[in-house]
Structure 1
Amino acid sequence: MKNLQKIIFLGIGLSLLSTSVNAQEKEFIPMANIPAGSFYMGGSALGENFDEAPIHKVIISNPFRIGKTEITNAQYEEFCPEHKVLRGKRGLSKGDDEAVIFVSYNDAVAFCKWLSKKEGKTYRLPTEAEWEYACRAGSYYPFSMGDGLPSVFQKDQRIVRDYQSVSLKVGQTPPNTFGIYDMHGNVEEWCMDWYGPYLSDTQTNPVGQSRGEFRVTRGGSHSTPETFLRSSNRMAMLPDDKHALTGFRIVQAEYPASKPITTFETNLNSEHVSQVKAVWKKQDKVPLFMAPIPFVIKPDCSSKTPFYQHNHQPAITWCDNGDLLAIWFSADHENGREMTVLASRLRAGAQKWDPASLFFKVPDRNMTGSALMNDGKGTLYHINGVEAAGDWQNLMMVQRTSYDNGKTWSSPRIIEPEHAKRHQVIAGTIKTKEGWFIQLCDAGPGGKDSTAVHISKDGGQTWADTGGTIAGIHAGVVQLKDGRLMAFGRSNNIADSSGKMRMPMSISSDMGKTWTYSASEFPPLEGHQRLVLRRLNEGPILLISFTDHPLRTNPSERGMIFKDKNGKEFKGYGMYAALSFDEGKTWPVKKLLTDGKSRFLNGGAWTQFFEMDATHAEPRGYLAATQTPDNVIHLVSSRLHYRFNLAWLLKNAD
């Protein structure tokens, strides 16, 4: 009798299991039931993870259902069949049951609206708090399963340039205690919230900020270091961005009734910005060279500015109110996701630059490559690269504008949406005589990858890659009077008639589509050096470069011949300026960028400390320059700001 009961109960159990399985098979999106409860949200907030603080209590007052897995290709393509053409892009997500990628926040929201209408239920993206609550599943370890990520979960968890063809098949690793799969890795997941700082008090069903520029993503992905897959780690993206690292999962629940918060913070570079138009007094008669001063100044800790040990790759422009605005990246590692764009302002009449403050940051994305330009009509333009993750190969390009001297900026707008090569922005944006904008970008992450050319013919509204390449990376470009473009760059060096390697000069007669290359008369640049090429207000073309690399061991390969104030020749080392009065055919003026006074200076970044005197100038650095309407040339290296004018460059020139 007992055995018969066991058989009956077993039969009933199998029948119920079969019914449950069949019901699950019929469910378009398998969902897990998440109970109401509370937890402590956030993390220790060390270093680059400062945005995980403060840890605060969150109450989830109502149970909800969340997708057991991320939305797959097959599920998404029920809504958007045309997405199928993106399967396998970058070698990823080819199968029906792999997590969908190359979907924007707006795409994910549209899917939820479609599914809600289709099933008569409310589907949406999870709030950031719901996501972390479901991910932790009662755990406060870095990962829901413990201190580290078991190998079974790992899919090329490192900084990569070219993605490996890892499987993104969902549900292949053990679920957490709530029965949810792939909360750590596989692909990042869009959340509903605008990104912004946490509050410290207890929150009930929080929904984030009332507005913002970036939507939160969570969970990390393949091809990403393990630390970014932690339960508390916060990331974000522009809502219309899409790439190979991010997909989404959905929630079935009503929208929370909570009101969003508003906790926006201002930064020093945008505070107390005068809107009085400057009256520029020409300073072009008397020779001017001012002692270099630092523009990269470490902020006070109380400012909460994310300032790291490596500050490099500047851009600079003038403002109509008489201020100067300089930006650069701050990072511990040049391929790191902590990289942040900082700014400093030299206010009109001031003798010192403001301390560094935050200028632009997409959370947990590498930000390599920045440019600034004043169009001469009251508008400032900021263009920046944004990586999908770390490194600086797979960048898209975004643009912002300011009409009030950099006090406020428009929301970032994607101008080159593909995370790809040819998008590493170089300082030195120019405006042609036709009114077109030209933005140069390194064509790849390597030292010999040349320079790409992007042009906007409508004031920055739309941009196009010409497809042409300038010889050398980190190039500078000017437009010649006959309409051609002339550029110089680092590497891809060309031998002159004597066989000596020289800096390449590139010329284009079709606005950057094709180029011809020849050896210039200038020595080539090497690592940790970037030139400036620009047309001065007065007409001549100015090149600022370096005589050699300071780590060369052969004395014969170092230095250039200059003339002192008495016409006597001497060998000088380091940064110099050259002038051309005949559209680049000859460069009769070459001057070492020093006033001859002895100084011990810190050039920052890769330059570090050096001695400046009559025969030595700054030995290396990344350069950027602008010329204010009073005709003063403002040059910045990796840390220092130089001020001089054409009259000084011409002083004692033959």
Structure 2
Amino acid sequence: MANTRLGLAALLTLASLAARAQTVNSLGMKLVPVPAGAFYMGSEREGKDADESPVHRVSLSSPFQMGATEVTNAQYEAFDPQHKQLRGNRGFSTQDDEAVVFISYAQAVAFCEWLSQKEGKPYRLPTEAEWEYACRAGTVSDFSTGSSLPKAYQKNQATDRNTAVVPLKVAQTPANPWGFYDMHGNVEEWCLDWYGPYAAGEQRDPVGRAAGLYRVSRGGSFGTPVTFLRSANRLGMLPEDKSWLVGFRVVQAAMPTTAPLPPAVTPSYNAPLSQQRYAWKPLAADKPLFLEPQRYVNKPACDHAVPFYSHNHQPAVAWCPNGDLLAIWFSTDEESGREMTVLSSRLRPGATKWEEPAEFFKVPDRNMTGSSLLHDGKGTLFHMNGVETDGDWQDLAMVLRTSQDNGATWSTPRLVAPEHTKRHQVIGGMSQTKAGWLIQPADADPGPAGGTAIHLSKDHGKTWMNPAAEAATPSFGAGETGGLIAGIHAGVVTLKNGNLLALGRKNDIKAPGSAELRMPLSLSKDMGKTWTYTASPFPPVWSGQRLVLTRLNEGPLLLVSFTHHPDEKDEAAAGMPFKAADGHTYKGYGMYAAVSFDEGKTWPVIKLLTDGKARYMNGGAWTGAFEMDQTHAEPKGYLAITQTPDNTIHLLSSSLHYQFNLAWLKQLPTAATQ
């Protein structure tokens, strides 16, 4: 049995004979003997599946027994009776013989330790290599069934916003050639290993990395596309995370004695970060500044291992104590894709070009929609991010990291809103009150008009709460009160009297005495428990557009938004009137800025965000190519903003970086021609 030189055919025969000698433990678990042997682990896939390479030969020197099925509710609850309260959560896994779900890595390990004491035999989670060896069952194809997975093995193999509830009863699909059920689907399964890149070359009894941020899960689930059910596909999760997609199965064997590989180090292709505090020199308050817009989203070098996809969007930005600007955004092929990762780039002090991007944050095979950044002004950077169970962007948990060294290193990701649900789609606009409270807005619904929730931390990010967590979605009518901000992708500012003011996209409200729709304005006098809705003086925000609202260092409020949707066919209704220096008005189109000196009561400065120079530009993402000139600015994009201590305003659209100041905003443009 310990002969690792057996060929695949011999292994298949041997395993088939061994499968007939299954044992059953005191919980009724069927344990399938697995022979020692060797196999080829991984795949040659590239791109979004590059973590499966290189293919490498793995020898497992000792036989072991592994559960024929995933651990069931009845089996797990013999250890933890309280888990029965989670049966039926979101409609899943109600019966004794269904796979147990809503289990963290630590809970799966604790079950194995309890079972070891109960049985007097060592139980544990399978290593990633043991899991793939048992799943392949002597095959080298994508699935143990060959190059495709028959319909008999499939349940709801799609990325659905509202996952279809299906039975998770174990052993309802055919077993693989070695007698294991549900290795391709049903629920994902925790493995022993820390997630990390494979090492090349032949390996014996590998156990993964010595440390990491994520634990491996394998097998895919009942509700993911078939490609994630392949034998080689790798997934990962924060160890504390739990959902309706993930359970586990056990191995009955001693813990491997192999030394783990060292923790993975992400390669850096940019210069080391300076930790010297930067000496900011304030701009002259009366000297206008508008610099040539430049791209901050740039492709990495072809030979650099940075995942960079076709769709780069949804930025956040913060200044660092060392003078750097740090920008982050998601990169993906599809907005509901599991390949979605968060990239970053920097603009160093005095530099004229943003650096090559680097991977900033990625939970393996999870959608990462929604990021924000904030520098608290005292040396701490905050990064908040959404993490999905799979694809789409509805069922997100919120994860927080902090950095004390200008973003060179970050704390271990921490689930601050751990339930995967609505109201967790992070918006790039975290802010801080005078009292030091952190305010994080998050879309309340994945749709176009579900409003915005806020999350508050009164202890510098240690704990978070949603002041209107139980509030139903209101109708957002003028004069009405509800527990959410009207409009998604909202910008939120704290007023000098402690109230909160917010502006958002959709849920538009008719202007008083008019049928014309306006961007909704939401006001809260109780730190987000309730909001009152009125029409703002601004036009609605459309798809492909995200506004920003902030308080400038100098005191005024600044809104940056868009005049109209660029696909609007009625040219006469599009655009907005703007004032020129000679006193006349002209029609302008695209991105504009509005400044209020009286806490949002009036907005006397409204200016098109262009210096008048004719230039070709490309805003990337949903924006694409456009021409900027005297009467046209960027037509759409998702915006993010920060203001450095020298009072330069740094505005990011989906791909472009704008730099200007308050003096420029207050300066009327020269006469513009239509």
Q: TM-score, normalised by structure 1?
A: 0.96
- Between the aligned partners of 1:547 and 1:577, the Cα distance in structure 2 is 10
SS for the counterpart of 1:590 is strand
2:62 aligns with: 62
For 1:13-412, list aligned pairs within 5 A. Answer: 24=24, 28-262=28-262, 264-268=264-268, 272-285=272-285, 286-412=287-413
- Between the aligned partners of 1:268 and 1:646, the Cα distance in structure 2 is 36
- Between the aligned partners of 1:650 and 1:165, the Cα distance in structure 2 is 56
- Between the aligned partners of 1:88 and 1:271, the Cα distance in structure 2 is 51
Alpha-carbon offset, residue 23 of structure 1: 6.6
From the superposition, tell whether residues 23 and 632 of structure 1 become closer, same or farther in structure 2 (CA, over 3 Å). Answer: closer
1:581 aligns with: 597
**Contact 1:269–1:359 (8 Å) recurs in 2:** no
1:547-575 per-position Cα deviation (integer Å, ceiling 9, x unaligned): 00000001232011112232221110000
Alpha-carbon offset, residue 21 of structure 1: 10
Alpha-carbon offset, residue 152 of structure 1: 1.3
1:357-401 per-position Cα deviation (integer Å, ceiling 9, x unaligned): 100000000000000000011000000000000000000000000
1:191-227 per-position Cα deviation (integer Å, ceiling 9, x unaligned): 0000000011111000000100000000000110000
From the superposition, tell whether residues 26 and 448 of structure 1 become closer, same or farther in structure 2 (CA, over 3 Å). Answer: same
**Contact 2:26–2:119 (8 Å) recurs in 1:** no
Alpha-carbon offset, residue 27 of structure 1: 5.8
- Between the aligned partners of 1:66 and 1:647, the Cα distance in structure 2 is 70
SS for the counterpart of 2:326 is strand
- Between the aligned partners of 1:26 and 1:206, the Cα distance in structure 2 is 30
2:638 aligns with: 622
SS for the counterpart of 1:228 is helix
Post-superposition, which runs of at least 4 consecutive aligned residues in structure 1 deviate over 4 A? Answer: 20-23
- Between the aligned partners of 1:462 and 1:188, the Cα distance in structure 2 is 30
- Between the aligned partners of 1:316 and 1:583, the Cα distance in structure 2 is 24
Q: Which blocks of at least 5 consecutive residues in structure 1 are unaligned?
A: 1-19
Alpha-carbon offset, residue 301 of structure 1: 2.0
- Between the aligned partners of 2:267 and 2:440, the Cα distance in structure 1 is 27
SS for the counterpart of 2:484 is strand
- Between 1:561-570 and 1:176-185, the stretch displaced more is 561-570
SS for the counterpart of 1:325 is strand
1:493 aligns with: 508
From the superposition, tell whether residues 563 and 23 of structure 1 become closer, same or farther in structure 2 (CA, over 3 Å). Answer: closer
Counterpart among 561, 564, 569 of residue 548 in structure 1: 564
Counterpart among 511, 531, 552 of residue 536 in structure 1: 552
1:106-139 per-position Cα deviation (integer Å, ceiling 9, x unaligned): 0000000000011111100000000000000000
1:472 aligned onto 2:478: no
From the superposition, tell whether residues 346 and 629 of structure 1 become closer, same or farther in structure 2 (CA, over 3 Å). Answer: same
From the superposition, tell whether residues 115 and 557 of structure 1 become closer, same or farther in structure 2 (CA, over 3 Å). Answer: same
1:641 aligned onto 2:657: yes
1:456 aligned onto 2:472: no
From the superposition, tell whether residues 267 and 476 of structure 1 become closer, same or farther in structure 2 (CA, over 3 Å). Answer: farther
SS for the counterpart of 1:313 is strand
Counterpart among 579, 584, 604 of residue 568 in structure 1: 584
1:4 aligns with: none
Alpha-carbon offset, residue 296 of structure 1: 0.2
**Contact 2:161–2:394 (8 Å) recurs in 1:** yes
SS for the counterpart of 2:303 is helix
Q: Which blocks of at least 5 consecutive residues in structure 2 are unaligned?
A: 1-19, 469-482
- Between the aligned partners of 2:662 and 2:532, the Cα distance in structure 1 is 30
- Between the aligned partners of 1:350 and 1:578, the Cα distance in structure 2 is 29
Aligned identity (percent) is 61
Alpha-carbon offset, residue 26 of structure 1: 5.4
Cα RMSD (Å) of the superposition? 1.4
**Contact 1:567–1:652 (8 Å) recurs in 2:** no
- Between the aligned partners of 1:409 and 1:462, the Cα distance in structure 2 is 18
- Between the aligned partners of 1:293 and 1:25, the Cα distance in structure 2 is 65
From the superposition, tell whether residues 258 and 270 of structure 1 become closer, same or farther in structure 2 (CA, over 3 Å). Answer: farther
SS for the counterpart of 1:556 is coil
- Between the aligned partners of 1:268 and 1:199, the Cα distance in structure 2 is 19
**Contact 1:267–1:358 (8 Å) recurs in 2:** no
Q: TM-score, normalised by structure 2?
A: 0.93
**Contact 1:606–1:621 (8 Å) recurs in 2:** yes
- Between the aligned partners of 2:432 and 2:217, the Cα distance in structure 1 is 37
Alpha-carbon offset, residue 630 of structure 1: 0.3
* Partner AA of 1:507 in structure 2: L
Alpha-carbon offset, residue 160 of structure 1: 1.1
**Contact 1:270–1:408 (8 Å) recurs in 2:** no
* Partner AA of 1:539 in structure 2: G
